[in-house]
Structure 1
Amino acid sequence: MKLVVHFVLLLLFPLNIFSQGLRFHGNESVINERTSYSVFENGSPAFTEKLVINFELSLLPPSNVGYIFRLKDTNLNTTYNLMYDNEGRENTVFKFNEEGRNNLITSIFKKEELSNCQWVSISLSFDLQQDSMTLKINDKETRIGGLNLLEKWNPVIYFGKSEHVVDIPSFAIKNVIIKDTQQEYFFHLNENEGEFVHDSKGKARGHVSSPVWLINNAYYWAPRASFKSKNVAGLNFNSQTQDIYFFDKDSITFFNVRSNAVSSKKYENELPVKLKLGMSFVDKADNRLYAYEVYSEEAAEVATSAYLDLNTLMWTTESVDRLPTQLHHHNSYYDAANHRYLVFGGFGSQHYNKEFYSYDLIEKKWSRLSFEGDRITPRYFSSMCYKKEENSLYVFGGMGNDSGDQTIGRRYYYDLYKVDLNEKKITKLWEIPWHGDNVVPVRSMIMLDDSCFYTLCYPEHFSNTSLKLYRFSVKDGSFDILGDSIPIRSDKITTNANLYYNEKLNELYCTVQEFDASDISSVARVYSLSFPPISLEELSGMGKDESMLYIWGVIIGVFVVGGVCVFYVKRRAKKTNTDTHEALSVLERQDEMSQESFERKDQPNSIYLFGEFTVRDRNNKDITYMFSTKLKQTFLLILQYSLEDGISSQQLSDILWPDKSENKAKNLKGVTLNHIRKALAELNNVELIHDKGFFKIVLSDGCYCDYKRFFEIIKGENIVNNKELIEILIRGKFLKNTEDEMFDSFKLEIENKAESILQMEIESRYAQQDYQTTLLLVDTLFNIDSLNEEALYYQIHSLIKLKMPDQAKNKYLLFSAEYKKVMNENYSIGFTSLLNDNKA
């Protein structure tokens, strides 16, 4: 009965601790898709004596300048707005204005003040009796008077786009409170769908268009980036710089999780370590990335560890010392205070490891550590974390056996140990029974307090499987499964996944690195999830009328009591019924889904480079015929360089007329450019200019170019599930049927970016059970890479989900024929094997 009571109490008194809020599409989106939120859609209540508006604000890249909210007094015909300006080099400025008249308050912050906090607290307090107003942003407070306020106010309150105001930065808000001395309206903004906004009592009061409900970010893992390397590569996260590093023997790629910026750089010298497992750790104090191998078959004088100075990109050999055996899937922790690196567990030479080893960065030597207390059995695939307050390591789970000899078989462990580094003592905290498929955790786990820890687990004994986030109780091992799943192919022992926590942005990151059959080439993917994560039940419960929870709590409580009585009778049939129910639910959701429509219709005053090169004039007439082969070459060359400084006159001549004399080339160039200007005169807001020796195509607002828009979107944050980006890509292969060699590198750059985006988008759409869009995107990806096996997988499985097995088989046969034609060998994976794979 105690279990039932606790269950009902949780339903009756839900905790509002989840990630929540409303995110606004800003200037990075077209005007019609920018977010608008009217707080009191059907008439505002009257506030007397005081009007207080409190909310929390998160400023998101690529925010530069725009309006956060507007406040109207219709009786006085007065409007106030809060404007944000981040375009200065050093400062971020908030301005509170009387719209169209004058600035009332200017509040200036150093950029780092706001960049170091995820949420900014904002309060506007109007004293209607004293005719004054106070603006408080975090701890900075400013008071003004003389506003001619009335003692009663029915405010009209907008956040984001409203009426004629369309300049909106990218931002998010949560915990909006509107109150006076007698009443209070609290908006958690914890809806997960729809356009109606409910107050804390469950009443729908507001309306929002084009919303992004942040609660979904706490359940759905968002694909953020992907990387490929033909060499052995490694991954790590630096919470101080907010960078995820992906490195191999030649170069390093930086992915900044805050700005989404990606950059790749070559090393200044050769990496001295021959990477086998690609293991690494970060020294934040010295801004170094250490690459190491615990074991190497190379000569004794060959480096086994080295560090990369992340400021200079110079490698320095650290040590040649090594352990006696390889340790696949070992755990690790960098003890910066004592300049040592600790590892535990792992597998190599047919043995599981039970030892703790320490690498001393000063002595540059490995040594074995000894502990008293309980014994941790030999294992690998464990999870480990460090708790600073206790100077202790925690080790969870894994796979191995008591002897360490791999030949006698293996056990799965679901236990937790505390390793006290002060006392040099190991204490076993608990071991729990496990039901269902055996799983192993990833290397790292997150423990932020004494109550619980988080780690990702997956059944590694399946080829195509899924990672799921688990939250375990530190006290007794009870657990919850949170968030949706992340696909992983676990065929190779080198394949790995890691979990990181970003305190600055309050996010979890999962990195998945999958190696090919050679254990050399790999693909790495990065996902993010808002913290704290939630379960599907919690997601489904967000934003609903809270009064209903009381009723449902009682109803469910009654059913739970009755259900306990028949639980054991029906337990054996439960799995079959659940499987059937889930299968039916998928079909029902498929039928209910409203698939997005993606317009491919060309618009007037536009230039298209995706698909067939097309130019349409201001009247929507196709004038592509005006661009002869030479004009098209010249125009595309200039446009290629126009996102930066342009192309020099000399460079243009060298590429297009390399065999002509200087005078002849100059004349031809002049004639060609005049013809381009004549063609462009049929459009508005586009011109060919010559400035300081460089030619450049200048596209102003009103002239659409899909190539320019493509780069604008991918520099922003909303890459996955971006409808406009999909519409650009599905138009066709970049510069389709333009075969000039001079554009090969140009096309390759765009295709690589498009391929990476399409792979993430396909994976995301498939996970959302949007199979029609998945198929559309797969066809687009095949235009770039006709032998993409991941695309084939999602194509086949989407058709099966849509009950189209014959079409799935036909697609497989077409792929096999193309594979045979290109590779001159048969495709090795059979249709049945492909069907039996299960990524999702």
Structure 2
Amino acid sequence: MKLFFYLAILLFFPLNIFSQGLRFHGNESLINDRTSYSVFENSSPSFSEKLIINFNLSLLPESNVGYILRLKDTNQNTTYNLMYDNEGGDNTVFKFNEEGRNNLITTLFRKEELANCQWVSISLSFDLKEDSMILSVNENETKIGGLNLQEKWKPIIYFGRSEHVVDIPSFAIKNLVIKDKQQEYLFHLNENEGELVHDSKGKVRGQVSNPVWLINNAYYWAPRASFKSKNVAGLNFNPKTQDIYFFDRDSIMTFNVRTHNISSKKYANELPVKLRLGMSFMDKTDDRLYAYEVYSEEQATAVTAAYLDLNTLIWTSETVDRLPTQLHHHNGFYDSDNQRYIVFGGFGSQHYNKEFYSYDLIEKKWNLLSFEGDKITPRYFSSMCYKKDENALYIFGGMGNDSGDQTIGRRYYYDLYKVDLNKKKITKLWEIPWEGDNVVPVRSMIMLDDTCFYTLCYPEHFSSTFLKLYRFSIKNGNFDILGDSIPIRSDKITTNANLYYNEKLNELYCTVQEFDANDISSVARVYSLSFPPISFDELVGDGKNKAMTYIWLVVILAAVLVGIYLFYRKKSRVKTDINSLDNSNLALEAREEIQRESFSRRDQPNSVYLFGEFTVRDRNNKDITYMFSTKLKQTFLLILQYSIEDGISSQQLSDILWPDKTENKAKNLKGVTLNHIRKALSELDDIELIHDKGFFKIVLSEGCYCDYMRFSEITKEENIINNKELIEILTRGKFLKNTEGEIFDSFKQEVENRSETILQMEIESRYAQQDYQTTLLLVETLFNIDSLNEEALYYQIHSLTKLKMTDQAKNKYLIFAAEYKKVMNENYPTNLSSLLNEKELKR
């Protein structure tokens, strides 16, 4: 059935929806850390009559001036380049040049014009027969001739830094196509790691150094900003100005999602509303931020709603009208056409609410709304959105009961209602069964079309828990879980989270606001995720797997009608059976459980990670790995390696890193490098580079976390099996992944040998405990170290079989056998039937 799922993707989703892109480190980075992408690294194909290069370009806020693309014609000894200049007053300039000789095309755009679109369409079309070319930027075309082009061209194509050209703006590209009339090379640029670039057929074509693969931005939520207030505060997003507002009684802080700038301003006058829940809504037309409380225990003359003029920062009182009870976790929508604000649901005075109320901005009072049709049971913790083309509200899920009386207990709802504001009618669309931990959605959900909606859900009955992004089918409630998780502490009823969609930047934003024990002071955090979001399977799929997907699609195309029939027959029988998840999702569940139980060690402030990608996070939890150039990283890792014991001597450090330098030269280089390391480490607390008795050493205090140090400490203990922190460290990724250099070979080998031994024992233990999900996760980790580990294959096949996932077991066997054939140049001697018929696992 998985094949039919792939077919459905082909039929119902354009392939480029999963195209993500490649981001380039530009002039903001050291020269050696800037990104360089050679499109055809080993051998460039020959193009006849035409050469067309199309791609989408995203210009990042910090972009200034530099070269985006270079094309070399070795036969003609000619190089062309495409240059970007953002420093020309009100204009942005694209220049197409014959490098070192003259400018051929200059195209001007007003900065605002390009700032309002996330991706710019670029096309360079060379007519080799007519000796002309057309440069197209967002369909703005300029044609030139007389380039002395030949009818055949084997171009050398670079993006970013190349050879002596080091001035690079900060930019990203996606959907790269290079073609003539006979051939086409398509690059989705959706790798998630490494330096090799595959074409759409899965073949390695190019190579990139210092890449930032944007597909990760569609899976990993990126922390963008944080705010604190000693008073009750509120949050909202203004898509018109691209600002997220955090406001309290004294001032308003603004985070611009495009520039990432944060500013704070005092109000011109006092906020007239005494904030308790910090609720708000935006009037984008009049540039107003409304703060309101549906209920207040203050005297009847106390203001319950007011608006802030975002241009003058003057508050104006709106009303003293209020509802009869407090409504925690209610939903709200501002109906700008009718100048009213509609709320639904909520909890207060030990009762769940089922009513719709509307605050009229003209009459300045609350009114009860009435609807016909289906009834929505009293609830709070629901999710709501507005669909403009239908003039309808959609309400999903929540928690409550039929009577509304909190004292008789509560139910979790997984249902969807449509509230037609024209007909004043409510229609229940579906209700789905649920398995596993109960979850509640956040207040807002995103519905961009007629197929699905997105919302964040979390099990609010745990103190330390996680938000997950869900995509639900509007038709039947089938759902997928996308992206990684976001931590949230849900102890206080005032704690809340919201989901926003930014059409201009094609991003999702999650805001999390956590209140302290006094329900007054709070901390708010902002996260971003590229849209459309992806699942774990889509993240880890490599070019070869994608190519196999396309091959399978072609093979089963003739069986499409039968496949669709079987697919829907099974769907109608099992509906949203969560147990149908494949082993990648099962492994992900195990990973998430481990992360929940040891969250404080996962991507926390003041931390250094050597397992997986080398990563350093500063005291504000910002990733500052970019501060460690190749030489700095080598030096830092070398000192850290020896810091387990007494450290490394100054002479030994020089001999390893600068063996070909004179003593004075090596000393100078060493001094400069160590100073840069100390500067980078100054961004963290409780870690320092010291020099004591002729030895250099990295010293960490309790406030700084290093996974390698903890690995070394834990593995010295007597009983290390079932140690959750150790499992978390190992499953983060291969030790010093993508960190090359002979000087680390023995270091990596030592750690991998210890890791392999531990993983083998853990796999055996977890399998004996019938914890097959974690077994699969550990098997994947072991394969990262030893791709031909037969014991890991045995446990993988048997775990999948125990989980009744025989198709996945067959697939994993075929993948292993193919890898065995590739490495050993002979067929794998044991067939799948023999593996499955084994009474005992191989020891």
TM above 0.5, yes or no, is: yes
1:682-710 CA distance string (max 9 Å, x none): xx9xxxxxxxxxxxxxxxxx99999xx9x
Task: Tell me: CA distance 1:496–1:724, structure 2 relative to 1, closer, same or farther (3 Å).
Answer: farther
Q: What is the match of residue 401 of structure 1?
A: 401
Q: For structure 1, which segment, 495-504 or 723-732, has the greater mean C-alpha deviation from structure 2 after superposition?
A: 723-732
Matched, 1:483 2:483: yes
Determine if contact 2:611/2:729 at 8 Å carries over to the other structure.
no
Separation in 2 of the partners of 1:293 and 1:232?
A: 12
Q: What is the match of residue 503 of structure 1?
A: 503
Q: Which amino acid aligns with 2:289?
A: L
Separation in 2 of the partners of 1:574 and 1:189?
A: 25
1:197-254 CA distance string (max 9 Å, x none): 1111111111000111111111111111111111111100000100000011111100
Q: Which amino acid aligns with 2:683?
A: L
Task: Kindly state the Cα deviation for residue 138 of structure 1 after the two structures are TM-superposed.
Answer: 0.8
Q: Which amino acid aligns with 1:139?
A: E
Q: What is the match of residue 642 of structure 2?
A: none
Task: Kindly state the Cα deviation for residue 521 of structure 1 after the two structures are TM-superposed.
Answer: 0.8
Task: Kindly state the Cα deviation for residue 580 of structure 1 after the two structures are TM-superposed.
Answer: 12
Task: Kindly state the Cα deviation for residue 727 of structure 1 after the two structures are TM-superposed.
Answer: 3.8
Q: What is the match of residue 40 of structure 1?
A: 40
SS in 1 for 2:544: coil
Separation in 1 of the partners of 2:472 and 2:581?
A: 28
Matches within 5 A, 1:706-725: none
Task: Tell me: CA distance 1:452–1:773, structure 2 relative to 1, closer, same or farther (3 Å).
Answer: farther
Q: What is the match of residue 301 of structure 1?
A: 301
Determine if contact 1:94/1:106 at 8 Å carries over to the other structure.
yes
1:236-284 CA distance string (max 9 Å, x none): 0000100000011111100000000100111111111100000001111
Q: What is the match of residue 695 of structure 1?
A: none
In the alignment of these two chains, the number of paired residues is 640
Task: Kindly state the Cα deviation for residue 146 of structure 1 after the two structures are TM-superposed.
Answer: 1.2
Q: What is the match of residue 593 of structure 1?
A: 612
Q: What is the match of residue 342 of structure 1?
A: 342
Q: What is the match of residue 548 of structure 1?
A: 548
Q: Which amino acid aligns with 2:590?
A: E
Q: What is the match of residue 240 of structure 2?
A: 240
Q: What is the match of residue 377 of structure 2?
A: 377
Q: Which amino acid aligns with 2:516?
A: D
Determine if contact 1:19/1:214 at 8 Å carries over to the other structure.
no
Separation in 2 of the partners of 1:354 and 1:150?
A: 74
State the Cα RMSD in Å.
4.1
Task: Kindly state the Cα deviation for residue 302 of structure 1 after the two structures are TM-superposed.
Answer: 1.2
Matched, 1:259 2:213: no
Matched, 1:582 2:590: yes
SS in 1 for 2:87: coil
Task: Tell me: CA distance 1:729–1:573, structure 2 relative to 1, closer, same or farther (3 Å).
Answer: closer
Separation in 2 of the partners of 1:520 and 1:295?
A: 17
Query: What TM-score, normalized by structure 2, do the two folds share?
Result: 0.70
Q: What is the match of residue 530 of structure 1?
A: 530
Separation in 2 of the partners of 1:452 and 1:235?
A: 26
SS in 2 for 1:29: coil
Task: Kindly state the Cα deviation for residue 17 of structure 1 after the two structures are TM-superposed.
Answer: 1.4
Separation in 2 of the partners of 1:725 and 1:260?
A: 24
Task: Kindly state the Cα deviation for residue 6 of structure 1 after the two structures are TM-superposed.
Answer: 2.9
Determine if contact 2:38/2:158 at 8 Å carries over to the other structure.
yes
Separation in 1 of the partners of 2:724 and 2:269?
A: 46
Q: For structure 1, which segment, 245-254 or 146-155, has the greater mean C-alpha deviation from structure 2 after superposition?
A: 146-155
Determine if contact 2:3/2:552 at 8 Å carries over to the other structure.
no
Q: Which amino acid aligns with 2:273?
A: V
Determine if contact 1:218/1:534 at 8 Å carries over to the other structure.
yes
Separation in 2 of the partners of 1:247 and 1:119?
A: 32
Q: What is the match of residue 791 of structure 1?
A: none
Separation in 2 of the partners of 1:259 and 1:175?
A: 25
Task: Kindly state the Cα deviation for residue 547 of structure 1 after the two structures are TM-superposed.
Answer: 3.4
Task: Tell me: CA distance 1:600–1:77, structure 2 relative to 1, closer, same or farther (3 Å).
Answer: closer
1:780-833 CA distance string (max 9 Å, x none): xxxxxxxxxxxxxxxx98579459xxxxxxxxxxxxxxxxxxxxxxxxxxxxxx
SS in 1 for 2:543: coil
Task: Kindly state the Cα deviation for residue 47 of structure 1 after the two structures are TM-superposed.
Answer: 1.1
SS in 2 for 1:6: helix
Q: Which amino acid aligns with 2:463?
A: S
Separation in 1 of the partners of 2:194 and 2:124?
A: 28
**Aligned with residue 729 of structure 1, among 669, 676, 683:** 683
SS in 2 for 1:37: strand
Q: What is the match of residue 782 of structure 1?
A: none
Determine if contact 2:454/2:469 at 8 Å carries over to the other structure.
yes
Task: Kindly state the Cα deviation for residue 139 of structure 1 after the two structures are TM-superposed.
Answer: 2.1
Separation in 2 of the partners of 1:571 and 1:169?
A: 47
Matches within 5 A, 1:551-700: 582=590, 593=612, 595-596=614-615
Q: What is the match of residue 17 of structure 1?
A: 17
SS in 2 for 1:87: strand
SS in 1 for 2:168: coil
Q: What is the match of residue 28 of structure 1?
A: 28
Task: Kindly state the Cα deviation for residue 128 of structure 1 after the two structures are TM-superposed.
Answer: 1.2
Q: What is the match of residue 749 of structure 1?
A: none
Structure 2, unaligned runs of 5 or more: 596-601, 603-608, 617-624, 633-649, 651-667, 691-702, 713-722, 731-843
Task: Tell me: CA distance 1:461–1:84, structure 2 relative to 1, closer, same or farther (3 Å).
Answer: same
Task: Tell me: CA distance 1:499–1:125, structure 2 relative to 1, closer, same or farther (3 Å).
Answer: same
Task: Tell me: CA distance 1:256–1:41, structure 2 relative to 1, closer, same or farther (3 Å).
Answer: same
1:438-483 CA distance string (max 9 Å, x none): 1100000000001100000001001011100011111111111111
1:472-498 CA distance string (max 9 Å, x none): 111111111111111110000000000
Determine if contact 2:482/2:536 at 8 Å carries over to the other structure.
yes
Identity level (%): 73
Q: Which amino acid aligns with 1:465?
A: T
Task: Tell me: CA distance 1:487–1:573, structure 2 relative to 1, closer, same or farther (3 Å).
Answer: closer
Matches within 5 A, 1:785-804: 801=728
Q: What is the match of residue 429 of structure 2?
A: 429
Matched, 1:93 2:97: no
Separation in 1 of the partners of 2:269 and 2:196?
A: 58
SS in 1 for 2:362: coil
Determine if contact 2:330/2:381 at 8 Å carries over to the other structure.
yes
SS in 1 for 2:273: coil
Q: What is the match of residue 141 of structure 1?
A: 141
Which gives a bigger RCO, structure 1 or 2 (Cα 8 Å, sep 6+)? 1
Determine if contact 1:50/1:128 at 8 Å carries over to the other structure.
yes
Q: What is the match of residue 271 of structure 1?
A: 271
1:543-590 CA distance string (max 9 Å, x none): 3353323677899x99x99xx9xx9xx989999x96899379979x99
Matches within 5 A, 1:43-82: 43-82=43-82
Q: What is the match of residue 462 of structure 1?
A: 462
Separation in 1 of the partners of 2:418 and 2:245?
A: 30
Separation in 2 of the partners of 1:430 and 1:59?
A: 43
**Aligned with residue 5 of structure 2, among 4, 7, 29:** 7
Task: Kindly state the Cα deviation for residue 191 of structure 1 after the two structures are TM-superposed.
Answer: 1.1
Task: Tell me: CA distance 1:364–1:64, structure 2 relative to 1, closer, same or farther (3 Å).
Answer: same
Matched, 1:171 2:190: no
Query: What TM-score, normalized by structure 1, do the two folds share?
Result: 0.70
SS in 2 for 1:125: strand
Task: Kindly state the Cα deviation for residue 98 of structure 1 after the two structures are TM-superposed.
Answer: 0.9
Q: What is the match of residue 283 of structure 2?
A: 283
Q: What is the match of residue 612 of structure 1?
A: none
Task: Tell me: CA distance 1:724–1:139, structure 2 relative to 1, closer, same or farther (3 Å).
Answer: farther
Separation in 2 of the partners of 1:407 and 1:268?
A: 45
Separation in 2 of the partners of 1:775 and 1:600?
A: 22
Task: Tell me: CA distance 1:573–1:268, structure 2 relative to 1, closer, same or farther (3 Å).
Answer: closer
1:34-59 CA distance string (max 9 Å, x none): 10000110121111211111111011
Separation in 2 of the partners of 1:459 and 1:517?
A: 20
1:130-151 CA distance string (max 9 Å, x none): 1111111112111111111122
Separation in 1 of the partners of 2:293 and 2:709?
A: 43
Q: Which amino acid aligns with 1:729?
A: E
1:523-543 CA distance string (max 9 Å, x none): 101111111111101112253
Task: Tell me: CA distance 1:571–1:263, structure 2 relative to 1, closer, same or farther (3 Å).
Answer: closer
Task: Tell me: CA distance 1:705–1:345, structure 2 relative to 1, closer, same or farther (3 Å).
Answer: farther
Separation in 2 of the partners of 1:724 and 1:507?
A: 36
